[in-house]
Amino acid sequence: MNIRDKVAVIGVGCSKFGENYDMSAEDMIVAAASEAYADARIEPSQIQAAWVGTLSSAMAGNALADPLKLFNIPITRVENYCASGMDAFRNACMAVAAGMYDVVLALGFEKLRDSGQRGLGTFGTHPVIGYGTTAPSLFAMAANRYFATYGIDKRALAKVAVKNHHNGTMSPKAHFQMEVTEEQVLSAPLICSPLGLFDCCPTTDGAAAVIVCRADIAKSFRPDPLLVKGIGLAVTSGEPYLKPGFAYTGFPATAQAAQSAYEQAGMTVKDIDLVECHDCFTITEILNYEDLGLCKKGEGWRYVEEGRASIGGEIPVNPSGGLKSFGHPIGATGIRMIYEVAQHLWNKAGARQVKNAEVGLAHNLGGPGSIGCVTILASS
């Protein structure tokens, strides 16, 4: 069974991302869902089922049921590392495509700034090898290996940070809305060499929501629904750094998820007009260019240096400013990417609008690079 053209996106919503000390998790959930309801022109009573992506909440389906008063319907919590939100969306789409429901909600959220939690924590269960490995240390190893393999240095990473911070200045809901210079990036304090402060996404609060329905009824809600063309999910080893053949110059989960999504959509990367990808670190975005097929292996640094990833470039990447500007409230990120793609396909992205965008791709990379999720949306 192919999901292509069976499911439509009819509404999206997003809270402000940032240090939302004046908002509870429930406040952000309500803000995102309310915007999505209004965008879809529906009432909450029309939601027949829901999926919620979150890493930190132990509330299961009640994380949505109570703040949104969505009682007596199926609500499922999804947790899949950094891909939790997009996987919640994936499950919602599959349920609609299977004919179980007509109209459903997928929502992701995280409240990290005042939780005491700073993200995923440590990876690895091996008692000696890889013990205590963190996200910055893992991606720092990837950066160092990439530098050694392709003969480049931190200036390539700095160009990603400069681009994404610039794009973030045009995103009213982004955590950071400030320009940075290449010199600022290169001289910033080190977090885990060679990654400095501006190479890492911030710890952030936020929520995002999307309303999904059967494609054949979508135009009864709005005249311009977006069609889900494909959703790929791939899970590889949770300890890739223990595998002798792991090169650190790419993540197979991304490549496999992308291939699945392209095949479902009947498309190639040449059909894509913009990409929102998982730039948890600047090196990650460069590797994503290659794993998603935007360029050949070893040429990701050229893709950003030559301006091909910029708004107005060959295939713009992270016109929102990405995780670098929005931050990474883990459960919210994947749906926030779908929110951003929808803004461009509906020509509502303002100053950051990618011209004539008709097909957009959203990509999550989860945990230690072990989970890849890719969604392709298109104007109907």
The confidence score (pLDDT) of residue 70 equals 96
Question: Any idea what the Cα angle at residue 280 is, between residues 65 and 125, rounded to 5°?
Answer: 80
Q: What is the maximal distance between C-alpha atoms in the chain?
A: 58
Strand-pair category, 359-366 with 274-276: parallel
Pick the CATH number of 7-115+201-379 from 3.40.47.10, 3.40.50.1100, 1.20.58.1610, 3.30.70.260: 3.40.47.10
The label of the residue with tokens 């949505």 reads: 64
The label of the residue with tokens 């749906």 reads: 335
Q: Tell me: the pLDDT tens digits for 9-18?
A: 999 999 999 9
For residue 1, pLDDT beyond 80: no
The confidence score (pLDDT) of residue 245 equals 82
Among the residue ranges 101-115, 256-270, 305-319, the one predicted with the least confidence is: 101-115
Answer for the pair 176, 126: CB distance below 8 angstroms, yes or no. no
Active-site hit among 14, 82, 213, 277: 82
For residue 226, pLDDT beyond 70: yes
The confidence score (pLDDT) of residue 188 equals 98
> Which DSSP string corresponds to 227-293?
EEEEEEEEE--S-GGGSTT--SS--HHHHHHHHHHHHHHT--GGG--EEE---SBHHHHHHHHHHTT
**What are the residue boundaries of the structural domains of the chain, listed by start?**
7-115+201-379
Mean pLDDT, residues 288-300 = 98
Handedness of CA 134, 323, 154, 317 (dihedral sign): positive
Q: Tell me: the pLDDT tens digits for 135-168?
A: 898 899 999 999 999 999 999 999 999 999 999 9
How would residue 129 be classed by pLDDT, with cut points 50, 70 and 90? low
Active-site hit among 175, 278, 328, 344: 328
- Cα 287 to chain center, whole Å? 15
Distance (Å, whole) CA 157 – CA 179 = 15
**pTM metric for this prediction:** 0.95
The confidence score (pLDDT) of residue 261 equals 98
Strand-pair category, 359-366 with 75-78: unpaired
Burial of 369 (0-12, 13-18, 19+ CB in 10 A): buried
Question: Is position 82 annotated as part of the catalytic site?
Answer: yes
Q: Tell me: the pLDDT tens digits for 192-216?
A: 999 999 999 999 999 999 999 999 9
DSSP 3-state assignment of 4? Answer: coil
Burial of 13 (0-12, 13-18, 19+ CB in 10 A): buried
Strand-pair category, 226-235 with 206-214: unpaired
The confidence score (pLDDT) of residue 165 equals 98
How would residue 128 be classed by pLDDT, with cut points 50, 70 and 90? low
Mean pLDDT, residues 52-74 = 88
Rg (CA), the chain: 19
Distance (Å, whole) CA 239 – CA 28 = 33
The label of the residue with tokens 């009819």 reads: 10
The confidence score (pLDDT) of residue 125 equals 55
The confidence score (pLDDT) of residue 121 equals 57
Distance (Å, whole) CA 161 – CA 6 = 37
Residue 24 tokens, joined: 């509870």
DSSP state at residue 200: B
Distance (Å, whole) CA 319 – CA 345 = 13
The confidence score (pLDDT) of residue 206 equals 97
Which phi and psi (to 5°) does residue 297 adopt? -60, 135
Which phi and psi (to 5°) does residue 91 adopt? -65, -40
Q: Tell me: the pLDDT tens digits for 345-375?
A: 999 999 999 999 999 999 999 988 889 999 9
The length of the chain, given as a count of residues: 380
DSSP 3-state assignment of 75? Answer: strand
Mean pLDDT, residues 86-106 = 98
Among 107, 130, 95, CA closest to 242:
130
Strand stretches in the chain, DSSP E: 7-14, 49-53, 75-78, 103-110, 122-123, 133-134, 190-192, 195-196, 206-214, 226-235, 274-276, 359-366, 371-379
Among the residue ranges 122-126, 188-192, 247-251, the one predicted with the least confidence is: 122-126
Distance (Å, whole) CA 338 – CA 86 = 8
DSSP state at residue 179: -
Question: Is position 328 annotated as part of the catalytic site?
Answer: yes
